[in-house]
Structure 1
């Protein structure tokens, strides 16, 4: 069942409707034309690194601790670049996505455990998207929070329409929304005029991040919101939408181009994530505003704090674009995980409705019982849940890409192996500290 560096695994194509559907120029074509053909999957992955969950943790971190947690965002994005490059390499070399590789190489019980944990992560991510979209609709149009949560069930129609027009058009739509988000935050930062010296100091890690329990909780939430476990499954699949040469030379070139694509896209995600925290630090970190952790509060206070009336509207537009982008890639990840682990294929609309239904129920219940404050806490908690699930995606990925029997000459070298091991250790240790703090109260 498992693929080697020079052979093909016996398994169904990942995302069969889009598999090898994007043409790649011949070997004689120039570098930029080839890179253009490979550009796209990285941006679908980057969406998960700037979803509404990032907004909650970024706002909480910036308002409470100023620029201190910028170093966590920077390190998280660097870790993400390494892990996503490994994910792309796995898909390109083996022809399997990460879920299929787990099904091929793990016994039934651990395989089912990994599947359930991944589904939990997707539901937690979808919960953040539901809340973020509902909050944006409330801020922009005055729609009650519970009604906005219910309306998010209609997102499935958007996905079906986009997929009907082809994978390349889906990627173009995603990139367009990403540019809207980045432009909104570039404008917000220009209005906020943050301290460049403070930003530089915040990029240097501080021991207080580990010794301060509250700061550590938010830091791990940032990690969970930045390095998304389901993105590792997603990326290993969607790189296979490219019809690249399957020789070792072709695979090596595909790995390089896919790594450039994802690294550039994650650079954009780094800007957005950092901008959220910097904006919160510049606008809210100070007397009377250090407790701003809710998106609604940030919206209400942003215009007065910056002295620009339209600042709050720009903020909400970016939030709505973020929620819509994330809902699309979450659907693809859910399909990939279910098909890969279980070899169970459902219509995309049905898969989407199941996932969204499991997210809407707790979000609506919390909104009804506890209001905006409860929803904000649920949003941060969803990111911590994602972080706790992360080791169960990272460990198989690192093991598979370091296995010469599976990857052939593309197996991780010594330097990459050490980097991957260090990242895995950091993720597991931080999660262990968080669980210990939760147990001890």
Structure 2
């Protein structure tokens, strides 16, 4: 991309790259398989946000209340996520900008500053879910009070710094290891729950009942907000640039191909975990008449008597803790990307991460102290609905930017992909408006 093209297509120059301490730090060797391996891992950091404790609350509530019906929402949400994450990789590789930088450089200040504020609100809502989920996991496993557990989650800043000093690949390996633990825990629990697999398959079929039933729509939007999360769009567009791919159009096309494959495979893994949570809730709770289970602590306590094995609640708590730890790490990185990208703030890496962590953890701590153990499920579900409401303000700019040939050059998104992404944006906006109308009319 020439400098003349750069000046004519963006209002402002990019400035420093996001996450500059790890930018282009991972070499991309020659050879197809070695290149594919170089891109492996980044997608799983993105996928973490699609299986955080907020997903647990919405999936537990949806599965216990409506059985397998909302599985189709998890599937559709995942398809949306795959399309939108592919656009994030395209934006980053084509323009050299993450989504926050692109919004800052493409839109006037009166538009970019509100977008920054909305992104921060989304990250706070995300972190409330993740901090509370981690604190509950610590409480269930070790009996640590929630308030102390919330404070402990702030230590993830130092985990990130320590791992990144060893190399960004170490951070990715840490995330993938925790994901494998989560998968094993749920595999065992699903085997113990012995769900009705015929009902599971039918649960992936579309139904108009979801739109007609306001309570079901509320939970469906919670699942949507917990799956397609705004902060993940900002994060993905930054960490894809940790790979040292070349600058030619052909090299960028190849990088986009491998990045899209990696994120798609990782998101299918996320769908497997999310569906497992909902299936477990449907098989263990809805099938036994316990349709009001939404609290993570309640689910933990009831799994042993319902599944008949004492290890089941321990596996549940271990998976929850791993999800919480994973999600708080990636949310902290996303907060740094948003703050750097929109505000162009230059601070030492440890201070930037600590600042973004505190912005989110202070509201989470206050909410946890205020609510305590009771009512956390409603709070978690509400946080995911808030995320769904914020999603349009990240998705619409993403679609606009990747459809602009002046900004994307030869890697502009094809028309069919933009049409599909525009349809996704329209569905998200329509569902959110429907929810607002339902609230307004009681």
TM-score of Structure 1 vs Structure 2, range by shorter chain: over 0.9
CA distance in 1, matches of 2:147, 2:103: 38
> Is 1:16–2:20 an aligned residue pair?
yes
Which residue is 1:427 aligned to?
428
Whether contact under 8 Å (1:338, 1:344) holds in the other structure is: yes
Which residue is 1:267 aligned to?
268
Greater shift in the superposed pair: 154-163 or 376-385: 154-163
> Is 1:382–2:359 an aligned residue pair?
no
Which residue is 1:323 aligned to?
324
Which residue is 1:117 aligned to?
118
Q: What's the offset of the Cα at 1:150?
A: 2.3
With over 3 angstroms needed to count, the CA separation of the structure-2 counterparts of 1:440 and 1:349, relative to structure 1, is: farther
Q: 2:29 aligns with which of 25, 36, 45?
A: 25
For structure 2, the residue ranges without an aligned partner over 5 or more in a row are none
CA distance in 1, matches of 2:170, 2:246: 23
Whether contact under 8 Å (2:14, 2:97) holds in the other structure is: no
Aligned ranges 1:46-125 → 2 under 5 Å: 46-125=47-126
Greater shift in the superposed pair: 6-15 or 126-135: 6-15
Give per-residue Cα distances to partners, 1:325-345, cap 9 Å, x unaligned.
111111111111111111112
Which residue is 2:148 aligned to?
147
Q: What's the offset of the Cα at 1:182?
A: 1.1
Q: What's the offset of the Cα at 1:273?
A: 0.4
Give per-residue Cα distances to partners, 1:58-89, cap 9 Å, x unaligned.
10100000000000000000110000000001
CA distance in 1, matches of 2:104, 2:33: 36
Which residue is 2:46 aligned to?
45
For the aligned residue pairs, the C-alpha RMSD in angstroms reads 1.9
Q: What's the offset of the Cα at 1:323?
A: 0.7
Give per-residue Cα distances to partners, 1:294-315, cap 9 Å, x unaligned.
1000000011111111000001
Whether contact under 8 Å (1:293, 1:376) holds in the other structure is: yes
Q: What's the offset of the Cα at 1:435?
A: 1.8
Q: What's the offset of the Cα at 1:168?
A: 1.1
Give per-residue Cα distances to partners, 1:113-132, cap 9 Å, x unaligned.
00000011111111111100
Give per-residue Cα distances to partners, 1:259-294, cap 9 Å, x unaligned.
000000001100000000000000000454110001
CA distance in 1, matches of 2:419, 2:7: 22
CA distance in 1, matches of 2:350, 2:281: 37
Which residue is 2:410 aligned to?
409
Whether contact under 8 Å (2:56, 2:277) holds in the other structure is: yes
SS in 2 for 1:390: helix
TM-score, normalization by structure 1: 0.95
Which residue is 2:299 aligned to?
298
Greater shift in the superposed pair: 141-150 or 165-174: 141-150
SS in 2 for 1:44: helix
For structure 1, the residue ranges without an aligned partner over 5 or more in a row are none
Q: What's the offset of the Cα at 1:347?
A: 3.4
With over 3 angstroms needed to count, the CA separation of the structure-2 counterparts of 1:291 and 1:3, relative to structure 1, is: farther
Whether contact under 8 Å (2:42, 2:240) holds in the other structure is: yes
Which residue is 1:135 aligned to?
136
Which residue is 1:158 aligned to?
159
* Residue correspondences, number: 438
With over 3 angstroms needed to count, the CA separation of the structure-2 counterparts of 1:6 and 1:245, relative to structure 1, is: farther
CA distance in 1, matches of 2:349, 2:431: 35
Which residue is 2:257 aligned to?
256
CA distance in 1, matches of 2:368, 2:338: 29
